Copies of this chain bind each other. A is one copy, B any other.
Amino acid sequence: MAKALPSRSENYSEWYNELVKKADLAENSDVRGCMVIKPYGYSIWEKMQQDLDRRFKETGHTNAYFPLFIPKSYLSKEADHVEGFAKECAVVTHYRLKNAEDGSGVVVDPEAKLEDELIVRPTSETVIWNTYRKWIQSYRDLPILVNQWANVVRWEMRTRLFLRTAEFLWQEGHTAHATKDEAIAETKQMLDVYAEFAEDIMGVPVVKGVKTESERFAGALDTYCIEALMQDGKALQAGTSHFLGQNFAKAFDVKFADKDGKLDLVWGTSWGVSTRLMGALIMAHSDDEGLVLPPNLAPIQVVIVPIYKGEEQLAQVSEKALEIQSALRKRGISVKFDNRDTHRPGWKFAEYELKGVPVRLALGARDLENGTVEVARRDTKEKNTYQLENIDQIVADLLEAIQSNIYNKAKSYRDEHITKVDSYEEFKEVLEKKGGFVSAHWDGTKETEAKIKEETKATIRCIPLDNKLEDGVCIYSGKPSTQRVLFAKAY
């Protein structure tokens, strides 16, 4: 293991890139903008999926699967949607290759050209609402509460592992309702599901809010979001939930007969989180030694490293290590006993630090004599020696403590990095020197928002849902404002 990550203070961006690769989470493929999610990274994503999927099902949703391809013509049906999504995308124009006449390999067969080109889905509202038209006749068919786990493609020019890739994995919920109120309630419910997942499972505190018009999903009436803060003071949008109104029902002619037989357009929502969450997880907690994983998402929660000289000592240590492993597994804790003789303990310590394993037990010959074990926690790097009795309880408690500590640490940092400012000078200074969210009055116009973005690269991340109304003046235009919004530079 060649370690040596760049430090965060030195080069945060390089630190992130190197960490993702060295911790075996993901790597760039030779296919432009597409990543390979490696087994260790994928096992974290699987844990996210499982937990989210359970939450979706508990709130009444079922999974389904819709086509990868979207006819080009569908995209034009919803006017805002086409502006947002029909530009940078992968276009399938042919359906056959043939042998090159000069024997140099295969070439596209010009005879096999599609009449209506197909787009690789950048998001599935169009193909799904086109299907819902067939599923919905009466109020009895509503609500439809469907989710899909899928890959999507958006042809990004500048890509970064997990944060912005041409292909990424996500889930997209698409629901249809008889009333506006029900659809709005669904939109908010799923935002809460995301926020609870981010905080309780990922240990990442989030601000729940609503986007301004210019940051809204293309085709939505309202976009709700959860915004997280990374250690470099930049914000990251971790999930969105859209109230679509009747826009897609209108575009795809999806109507239902109410109890009195009257026809009306269906109300819709959509909501999604993606492998971008992996980026948020990595950047929120990790340090210069490597990943710091919350126990709730760690593929390996505890590693046991034997310290020994010679076969005989290894046999003795192994016996006790396997006992501990078994006791921990009975509690549902995932444990790895690393008895490889190809690497030294110090190398293993560094390796599991890099991989973010929350708890490390080191067990040596002297420990056996004393009936003890050395317990190291990854988050604080504290080490303590404990008696072996009740070690399973001690470790279980420690895992809970680590989960809380990781969240609390991120929350303190986040709370310290929400700064109220009342002038544009102060705004720019905070943005430059301190970073984080800047809470400031805004006049509510697109023009001001665009100017601030242009001049400072900061965008309005959201209008927090728990905002208090307060009279003030816009930091940029000086015009009256009724509430503060959260600005930040963002991923």
Is there contact, CB below 8 Å, between B39 and A62?
yes
- Which of A69-77, A446-454, A476-484 forms contacts with chain B? A69-77
Is there contact, CB below 8 Å, between B67 and A31?
yes
Is there contact, CB below 8 Å, between B155 and A96?
yes
Is there contact, CB below 8 Å, between A46 and B63?
yes
Is there contact, CB below 8 Å, between A97 and B118?
no
Is there contact, CB below 8 Å, between A91 and B86?
no
Look across to chain B and name the residue whose beta carbon is closest to the beta carbon of A97.
Answer: B86
Within 8 A of B (CB), among A30-83: 30-31, 34-39, 42-43, 45-46, 62-73, 75-76, 82
For A326, what are the chain B residues with a Cβ–Cβ distance below 8 Å? Answer: none
- A141 CB to closest chain B CB (Å) equals 12
A63 and B41 alpha carbons, distance in the complex (Å): 9
- A327 CB to closest chain B CB (Å) equals 22
- A314 CB to closest chain B CB (Å) equals 19
- Interface code A83-100, partner B: CB below 8 Å = 1, 0 otherwise? 000111111111111100
Is there contact, CB below 8 Å, between B38 and A69?
no
Q: Is the interface of A mostly helix, strand, loop or mixed?
A: mixed
- A74 CB to closest chain B CB (Å) equals 8
- A220 CB to closest chain B CB (Å) equals 20
Within 8 A of B (CB), among A109-156: 117-120, 127, 130-131, 134, 140, 146, 150-151, 153, 155
Is there contact, CB below 8 Å, between A34 and B153?
no
Is there contact, CB below 8 Å, between A153 and B68?
yes
- A406 CB to closest chain B CB (Å) equals 25
Is there contact, CB below 8 Å, between B96 and A88?
yes
Of B35, B73, B98, the residue contacting A87 (CB under 8 A) is B98
Is there contact, CB below 8 Å, between A39 and B146?
yes
For A82, what are the chain B residues with a Cβ–Cβ distance below 8 Å? Answer: 105-106
A167 interface residue, CB < 8 Å from B?
yes
Is there contact, CB below 8 Å, between B98 and A151?
no
Of B38, B64, B105, B169, the residue contacting A37 (CB under 8 A) is B64
For A119, what are the chain B residues with a Cβ–Cβ distance below 8 Å? Answer: 97
Is there contact, CB below 8 Å, between B97 and A29?
no
For A42, what are the chain B residues with a Cβ–Cβ distance below 8 Å? Answer: 62-65
Within 8 A of B (CB), among A292-320: none
Look across to chain B and name the residue whose beta carbon is closest to the beta carbon of A98.
Answer: B87
Contact (A65, B169) CB under 8 Å given A151-B151, A342-B140: yes
For A35, what are the chain B residues with a Cβ–Cβ distance below 8 Å? Answer: 67
For A76, what are the chain B residues with a Cβ–Cβ distance below 8 Å? Answer: 105-106
In this complex, the member of A31, A37, A62, A119 whose beta carbon has the largest number of chain B beta carbons within 10 angstroms is A31
Across the A-B interface, the 9 shortest Cβ-Cβ residue pairs: A34-B67, A76-B105, A39-B62, A37-B65, A91-B94, A95-B155, A31-B67, A93-B93, A90-B92
Residues of A near any B CB (own CB < 8 A):
27, 29-31, 34-39, 42-43, 45-46, 62-73, 75-76, 82, 86-98, 105-106, 108, 117-120, 127, 130-131, 134, 140, 146, 150-151, 153, 155, 167, 169, 342
